[in-house]
Amino acid sequence: MSSTVAKALTLLDHFSENEPEIGLSDLARRSGLDKATVHRMLSVMADAGLVEQRHDTKLYRLGAGILRLARIREKAFPFASVLQPELDLLAQETGETAHASLISGRALATVGICESSKANRVSLVVGEVLPFHATASGIATLAFGTEELSARVLTGPLDGKTSFTLTDPGRLNALIETARRTGFGETDQTNEIDVYGIAAPYFDKTGFACGAVAVATPSHRMTEALRDKIVDAVLRTAQVITSGTGGTQPAGYPETVRKTLSSLPDGSA
């Protein structure tokens, strides 16, 4: 059940902004694999350019081949580039940290960030992978993604990231249903303590969500007014991104949102 390529590729996940270079033994320890195994894997990945080894410290880091592949993808399907300006705008408009992500395997990959200019802000590490079930972006994406995706997530393991994380498939599905009605995902401290997230999905050409744009604020700062402002801005940004990347909204999406939105402040139909 554990293919060797899968094991090799999980090695890449141990590299992060905070830890861009890792030694062989260290990497073996974390991945739970044998030193020799990791060594062989890294060698062939270095050969392919996915990683590279500094010849002085012997440490490994992500390689130049990744940049090359990213350029190819970005040239063929521009996303990060068309996304960033909208993200900057969203952050400025709301005064809070904005970020965007895309479905990447069994999780969300953060592909764009613009941090708030406030001193007290939510700070995100570049390239972090976000679990579907514990983030507003994940909920928003699941709500409007393919049936197969949500099924896979709901049947998979639901790690408790904080004490607020929904680890029960039933309750998680209820939250997804809510998002499906309102048009956006909303979570409070389910992934990290004191972080409140509001996210709206954007769509690919087939009308399924391929990711979400979100605004993250310190939980204690969240008010009814700020929430409404963010929901509005996030939904608008998502729509811009959808059309900007050649996606199409599914039938009835904007209408549903509008209706639900207008009912939010006072609860009237």
Partner DNA sequence: AACTACTGTTGACAATAATGAACCAGAGGG
Partner DNA sequence: CCCTCTGGTTCATTATTGTCAACAGTAGTT
Single out the residue of 173, 184, 180 nearest to residue 239, CA to CA: 184
Interface with DNA, residue 40, by CB under 7 A: yes
Kindly indicate which of the ranges 125-133, 167-175, 213-221, 225-233 contains the residues binding its own copies, using the contact rule CB under 8 A: 125-133
Nearer to DNA, 28 or 199 (CB): 28
Number of residues written out for the chain: 269
Kindly indicate which of the ranges 27-35, 44-52, 136-144, 157-165 contains the residues binding its own copies, using the contact rule CB under 8 A: 44-52
Which of 15, 16, 49, 59: binder of DNA (CB under 7 A)? 59
Interface with its own copies, residue 16, by CB under 8 A: yes
Q: Which residue carries 């990213």 as its tokens?
A: 70
**b/e map 220-251, b = 16+ CB within 10 Å:** eeeeeebbebbbbbbbbbbbbbbebbebebee
Kindly indicate which of the ranges 23-31, 97-105, 110-118, 137-145 contains the residues binding DNA, using the contact rule CB under 7 A: 23-31
25 binding partner (options its own copies, DNA, none; Cβ < 5 to 8 Å by kind):
DNA
**In the complex, minimum distance from the CB of residue 246 to DNA, in angstroms, rounded to a whole number:** 21
**In the complex, minimum distance from the CB of residue 201 to DNA, in angstroms, rounded to a whole number:** 23
**Cβ contacts of residue 236 below 8 Å, gap of 6+?**
none
> What is the rounded CA–CA span in Å between residue 258 and residue 244?
21
Interface with DNA, residue 74, by CB under 7 A: no
Interface contacts to DNA, rule CB under 7 A: 1-5, 7, 23-26, 33-37, 39-43, 53, 58-59
Interface contacts to its own copies, rule CB under 8 A: 3-6, 8-10, 12, 15-17, 20-21, 40-41, 44-50, 52, 54-56, 61-77, 79-80, 102-107, 109-111, 126-127, 129, 146, 148, 204-206, 208, 211
